[in-house]
A and B are shown apart, each in its own frame.
Chain A
Amino acid sequence: MSGFQLSAEGVEFVKSELKRYETRLSAVIPCLYRVQKENQGWVSPESVSYLSQLMDIPEAHINEVLSFYTMFNREPVGRHHVQVCCNISCAMNGARELTEKICKELDVKEGEVSKDGKVTVTRVECLGSCGTAPMMQINDRYYENLTSDSALKIIRELK
C-alpha cells in the first residue's frame, strides 16, 4: 500500500462525496477524478487499492468503473495530455491529419509519452464541442476552431 496517498483536502473531498449520493458507489467517478488529478494524470493500481480502503468499496468495483471510462488513464501520461477529438465533425474537418501533424511535431507516437515526459497525444471520441470542430483538449482546457497552424502554435508553447 506504499506510494500513493491523497492530500488532506483530497481525503476531505472523498468523505464529502461519499455522503452526497444515495449509494456509495456513485461517488467513485468524482473520487477517481480527484485521484487522477493528484497522481500526475493517471490512476495507478496502488491508488485504486488506496481508494478502496478509504471509500470502503471493493477494489474490483472501483476497477470496473476505472476500466469502463476512457477519461481515466490507466497508464502514466505526460505533463500535458493532448486529446484530439476525431469523432465525425472533427474528423470531417481534418482532425485525423491534425493528430498526425501534432505527433510529428512532438516526435511522439500516438498514445505514448514523449521521451522527456512532457506530453502524451491521444485520439479520443466526441468531446461535445462539434460546433467548433476541429478541437482538442489539453489537460482541463478546450482549444477550439483549430487550424494546423494554430494547433501547432499551441503545442509549441507548452512548457
Chain B
Amino acid sequence: MLKCKINGKEVEVPEGTSIIEAFKLSGQDIAHYCWHPGLSVAGVCRLCMVEIEGQPKLQIACNTQVQDGMVINNNSETVKDVVRWGLDFHLINHPLDCPICDQAGECGLQDQYMQFGKYTPEMAERKVKKRKVVDLGPTVVLDTERCILCSRCVRFTDEVSKTHELGIFNRGDRSEIGTFKDRPLDNKYSLNTVDICPVGALTSKDFRFRQRVWYLKTAESVCPGCSTGCNVNVYYNEEGLWRVRPRYNAEVNGHWMCDEGRDTYKFVNRKARLLEARVGHKDSWQSEAPGSAAKQAGVKLKEVLESEGPESVALVLTGQYTTEEYEAAIGLFQSELNSTLIYHWVNNPESFEDFDGLLLRGDKNPNTKGLLQALEQAGIDRPWQDLLDRLKAGSIKTLVVAGPENQSVFPDQLEKLEMFKEVENLIWLTAGPVEGLEHRAKPTWQIPLKTYIEKAGSFVNHQGLKQSFQVGTIVVSSALTLAEAVTLLAGQELELSAQDQILQQNRKKNFFTETRGAL
C-alpha cells in the first residue's frame, strides 16, 4: 500500500493506482471527461489537472500513478485556473443550445461549468459548424458539434464491444467522431456509448426528447432480460418507466449492459399491461378486479379438486419470477392443493446455453436458477413430457400458468397455448394481455400480475449469485404478485405487508399532504 496526501487528507491506496482513482477512493471531487473507470486511459481532455508537491508543472491525474509520499491537491488557484481555461477551450466550438439539448440536466459540461465556468466567454471567433442529427444506426443519434472528442465511445467500441466502428476523423477543429463511410453503429451494446458520452453528442433514439431527466426518479433494480442479471437503474415518473441504464457491479456486469436489456421497461408500462382480470371464453369476456377474479378462480379450483382429486390440478412456471414467489407458489400448491404437478416452461431450449462472451445469454429469463432451486427444495422434478402426457390423457382439468412477463422472449407462447387448448379450466397469470387467449373456447381466467419493478424479491443469475431488489415504483396498483395470486387461488386471504400497512396508516393521517407544506 502507498500513502499519499490528497487535498490535505491522508489516503492509502494499492500500488499502481492512478491519482484520479485515489481521488475517487478518498471521495473527493475531480473534474474529468475522457477518463472512465471501465476504459483505458486516453488523457485527452486535460481537465483532471493536479498539483504535485515537488513537481514544477501540473500533471493529469488519470495518467499519473500515485507514488509513496505524494502530496497532491486540486484546489489551489493554479489548478482551478487551468481547469477553467481547459473548460473554456472545450466550449470554443460547442453550441450553446442547452435548452434544446437532450443531455441537459445530466451533461458533464453543464455540471463542470457551475464550478469552473468563466461566465464571460473570451472567444471572439465564430464557432465551427459541423454535422448535426447524424443517424448513427438503429439506436443512436450523433451531433458532431456537441462532441468534445473525449474518445470514450471510440474506446468503448475498441475495447469492450470490440466492434471497432467508431473513429475520430479529420483534424484540429474539424475533427469529429463517425463511422467509416457512415455505416450504422449497429452492435448489441451500442447504447453504452450514449451512457458514457459526457455531453449531448450521442443520444438514444429511444429516449431522446421524451422526458426531461430532472423530472425522472431513479430506482435500483436487476435487469430481467436474461440470466446474466445486470444491475440497473430504472428511470420513471408517474406515467411509468422511460429508460433502463446499467449500474456498476464488478461481479456481474461491470459498467455495461446490452441494448436488449434496455427494452425491458416497455412491457412494464400501462400501454402494454393487462389492467383488469378477464374472465370467460371466446364468446363472452368479462372484466373483473384482479383480486376477486383470483378468488373466483380459487373457488373453481377447489371444486375441481374435490370432484377430481389432486392429480387434476397443475402449475406451469416460467423463469421470470422471483425466488420468493416461487417458494410461496410451490409451497401453497403442495400444502393447500396437495398437488405436485409443477412444471418448468423453457422458452428457447435450442439457444438456452448461448453466451456472446460479454453479457448476453441465451437463457432469456432472469431467474431460471432460482426456479430450479425452489423446485429442487420442494423435491419436484417433472419433465415437460409428463405434462404433455397428462394433458393428452385428459387427467388435468385445471391448469395454472404463470406466463412470461416479457412476452417478446417467449416465441413459443402461441404453441404452448395450442397445447393447453383442451384443458377444461385455464388460469393464466400474466403481466400483459396474451395474444391468442381470447379465442379459447373453454373457461379462462387472465389475471394481471405485477412486473419486476413493482415488487421486492431476488433473482438468482447464471452464476448462482442471488441478487435482491426492492419495489421501485408501482405502475398497475391492482395487479397481484405471483405469490399473492397463488395465495388467493389456494383460497386464503391476503395479509397486508408491514410496508403496506405503514402506507395505509399514512394515507389515513393524510401524512403526505400535510408535510408537503404551502405551495
- Interface, chain A (partner B; CB < 8 A): 45, 48, 58-61, 63-64, 67-69
- Interface, chain B (partner A; CB < 8 A): 158, 164-171, 179-181
Q: Chain B residues near A48 (CB, 8 Å)?
A: 180
Q: Chain A residues near B181 (CB, 8 Å)?
A: 45, 59
Assess the B165–A60 pair: CB atoms within 8 A.
yes
Q: Which residue of chain B has its CB nearest to the CB of A69?
A: B171
Q: List 9 A-B contacts (CB under 8 A).
A: A48-B180, A59-B180, A60-B180, A61-B167, A63-B169, A64-B169, A68-B169, A68-B170, A68-B171
The 3 closest A-B pairs by CB, nearest first: A58-B164, A60-B167, A59-B180
Q: Chain B residues near A59 (CB, 8 Å)?
A: 164, 180-181
**Nearest Cβ distance between residue A72 and chain B, in whole angstroms?**
12
Assess the B171–A63 pair: CB atoms within 8 A.
no
A144 to B15, CA, bound (A): 57
Q: Which residue of chain A has its CB nearest to the CB of B164?
A: A58
A69 to B164, CA, bound (A): 21
Q: Chain B residues near A63 (CB, 8 Å)?
A: 167, 169, 180
Q: Chain A residues near B164 (CB, 8 Å)?
A: 58-61
Q: Chain A residues near B179 (CB, 8 Å)?
A: 60
Overall SS of chain B's interface: mixed
Interface centre among A59, A60, A64, A69 (most CB of B within 10 A): A60
Q: Which residue of chain A has its CB nearest to the CB of B181?
A: A45
Q: Chain A residues near B167 (CB, 8 Å)?
A: 58, 60-61, 63-64
**Nearest Cβ distance between residue B330 and chain A, in whole angstroms?**
51
A45 to B183, CA, bound (A): 12
**Nearest Cβ distance between residue B408 and chain A, in whole angstroms?**
32
**Nearest Cβ distance between residue A74 and chain B, in whole angstroms?**
10
Q: Chain A residues near B158 (CB, 8 Å)?
A: 58
**Nearest Cβ distance between residue A137 and chain B, in whole angstroms?**
20
A59 to B169, CA, bound (A): 12
Q: Chain A residues near B169 (CB, 8 Å)?
A: 63-64, 67-68
Q: Chain B residues near A58 (CB, 8 Å)?
A: 158, 164-165, 167
Assess the B170–A67 pair: CB atoms within 8 A.
yes
Please give 14 more A-B residue pairs, beta carbons under 8 A apart, in addition to A58-B164, A63-B167. Answer: A45-B180, A45-B181, A48-B180, A58-B165, A59-B164, A59-B180, A59-B181, A60-B165, A60-B167, A61-B167, A63-B169, A64-B169, A67-B169, A69-B171
A61 to B164, CA, bound (A): 8
A63 to B180, CA, bound (A): 7
A34 to B435, CA, bound (A): 61
**Nearest Cβ distance between residue B355 and chain A, in whole angstroms?**
24
Q: Which residue of chain B has its CB nearest to the CB of A58?
A: B164
**Nearest Cβ distance between residue B433 and chain A, in whole angstroms?**
44
A111 to B101, CA, bound (A): 37
Q: Which residue of chain B has its CB nearest to the CB of A59?
A: B180
Assess the B171–A60 pair: CB atoms within 8 A.
no
A67 to B164, CA, bound (A): 17
Q: Which residue of chain B has its CB nearest to the CB of A48?
A: B180
A67 to B171, CA, bound (A): 7
Q: Which residue of chain A has its CB nearest to the CB of B165?
A: A60
A29 to B278, CA, bound (A): 69
A104 to B165, CA, bound (A): 43
Q: Which residue of chain B has its CB nearest to the CB of A62?
A: B180
**Nearest Cβ distance between residue B280 and chain A, in whole angstroms?**
58
